[in-house]
Structure 1
Amino acid sequence: MKKTIILFTLFVGMFSYAQLKNVDYTDDNQKLEGFVATPKAPHSKKAGVIVIHAWMGIDDHSKESAQDLADLGYYAMVADIYGVGNKPESTAEAGKLAGYYKSNPLEYQKRIQLAINELVKAGANEEEIAVIGYCFGGTGAIEAARGNLKVKGVVSFHGGLGKDANRETTPISAKVLVLHGADDPYVPTVEVSKFQDEMRTAKADWQMNYYANAVHAFTHKDAGSDNSKGAAYNQLAAERSWQAMKDFFVELF
């Protein structure tokens, strides 16, 4: 009897998990391929969330996040920032691609906006949109706020926080949540300090959570567990940050 119950629970779980659907769209001549997860029980406001991948391109982690968000009732879409045929095959290639978009924020913001357009087509309310991202994608989430895209809030998971000193700081209307590894060697203290000053100058509604014993990529299970490498998975930080995001969304929507 016990075995039957377990099997039934697994069977139900398989079919309750949101399914991803490929979405083809374009940026001029560049083909893009994102993934949309539609909630079976949508949020009352049909809120939607864009998920931006880390520097190696769309991966299982970003897809699972979209599915988890859909299971929470949100329309979710993994945005394709790099475009079809441009997925990096090495960290060196990833560094070049990520560096290009960090150095060309308007191009980054444009790719995010194109994904938002597709999410709205999929059923999300254009007035109730948020953007989240991991590492490189966390930087993108903040760029959505800096660019004043039509989003209510953004969440950066262990993302880069810096911007070119020559860029003007303008008012930010979206609420900002930064989820940061307290020991992240890739985001130095000076970068954090300048980001916080930027948020104050922009009159933003911002929050920043630090997670003890966490370095870069702390939500990525495939990052290993060796903090000395600078990037490593931390289960407690991953769980706490996801809960912080959920609480933020309750307030946001």
Structure 2
Amino acid sequence: MKTKLMLLVLLLQASVTLSAQTKSAAVDYKDGDQLLSGISVKPAKAMANKPGILILPAWMGIDDHAKDTAERLATLGYITFIADIYGKNNRPTNYAEAGELSGTFKKNIKAYQIRIKLALEQLVKQGANPDDIVVIGYCFGGTGAIEAARTNMKVKGVVSFHGGLGRDIDRDIEIIKPKVLVLHGAYDPYESKQEIDYFQVEMQKAEADWQMIYYANAVHAFTDKNAGNDNSKGAAYNELADKRSWKAMLAFLKEVL
């Protein structure tokens, strides 16, 4: 009983310390008539140049994983903002709805790009330096991060965690200015070898400064602790890949920001 009480006290102390280091708030904004509501997480003390990180969530929309990422980055001094891609009253409640919604934006990629740009504007309004911004994304959000690079949004770099790499082959390949970091599960069944090859050729033709890191024994969603541990399902958490990819991202942020 005494041990459990001590553990509870330690957890409460950690929670208080974290909340003292960051300040979180919902931020409403609009895309036409569609109300959007993202989350701003600011550090108690930002870095001198006030770098900003835009977080694009996975296909379920704003989730605990995105919130945890924002908090962790904010404690390091980054001003963070979690984008709302779907809309305040238009969020999926199950995987089927998430697949339909994310699929709609993948087919209408310009609409996805607009939602990313609107979120970037909100990040700047929260105090981030418009000249020192990186976009990171998970799964569906990783696709969005790469789109931010493909369209040369005003960002220093992008990071895709187990994101979709595909693009319409009829799209023109333009010179890519933001630096690109792709963190990929070596056994991700949702990205074919052909799609990966096309992506790498695209990066070369775009003269991008790009990196792609593969993680052994990792499938899709390897950073999501709620994805289970069964690789045979195609999506599963991998603790080692999660830790390694986080370190890779931090090194990338230090380099570009």
Is residue 252 from structure 1 mapped to residue 249 from structure 2 by the alignment? Answer: no
1:52-93 deviation digits (Å, cap 9, x = unpaired): 010111101101111111111110000000111111122221
Matches within 5 A, 1:69-218: 69-218=73-222
Is residue 48 from structure 1 mapped to residue 32 from structure 2 by the alignment? Answer: no
- 1:38 match: secondary structure: strand
Letter of the 2:14 partner, please give it: L
1:104-135 deviation digits (Å, cap 9, x = unpaired): 22111111110111111110000111100000
Letter of the 2:242 partner, please give it: A
**Post-superposition, which runs of at least 4 consecutive aligned residues in structure 1 deviate over 6 A?**
none
Letter of the 1:125 partner, please give it: N
TM-superposed deviation, 1:6: 5.2
Cα contact 1:18–1:68 (8 A) shared by 2: no
Pairwise CA RMSD of aligned residues? 1.8
TM-superposed deviation, 1:18: 2.0
Cα contact 2:141–2:160 (8 A) shared by 1: yes
- Aligned-pair identity in percent equals 56
- 2:115 match: secondary structure: helix
TM-superposed deviation, 1:16: 3.8
Letter of the 1:72 partner, please give it: L
TM-score by length of 2: 0.94
Pairing partner for 1:231 from 226, 235, 245: 235
Letter of the 2:61 partner, please give it: G
Letter of the 1:135 partner, please give it: C
1:26-65 deviation digits (Å, cap 9, x = unpaired): 0010000000001112122100000001011110110111
- 1:240 paired residue number: 244
Cα contact 2:21–2:44 (8 A) shared by 1: no
TM-score by length of 1: 0.95
In the comparison of the two structures, how many residue pairs are matched?
252
1:173-225 deviation digits (Å, cap 9, x = unpaired): 00000000000001111111110000001000000010000000000000000
Structure 1 residues 114 and 185: CA distance shift in structure 2, 3 A: same
Pairing partner for 1:28 from 23, 28, 32: 32
- 1:177 match: secondary structure: strand
TM-superposed deviation, 1:9: 5.5
For residues 170 and 205 of structure 2, the distance between their equivalents in structure 1, rounded to whole angstroms, comes to: 15
Structure 1 residues 64 and 6: CA distance shift in structure 2, 3 A: closer
Unpaired runs of at least 5, structure 2? 1-5
TM-superposed deviation, 1:8: 9.0
- 1:171 match: secondary structure: coil
Unpaired runs of at least 5, structure 1? none
- 2:69 paired residue number: 65
Cα contact 2:21–2:43 (8 A) shared by 1: no
TM-superposed deviation, 1:7: 7.7
Letter of the 1:149 partner, please give it: M
**The 10-residue stretch of structure 1 (64-73 or 133-142) with the greater mean CA deviation from structure 2:** 64-73
Structure 1 residues 14 and 39: CA distance shift in structure 2, 3 A: closer
- 2:3 paired residue number: none
TM-superposed deviation, 1:100: 1.3
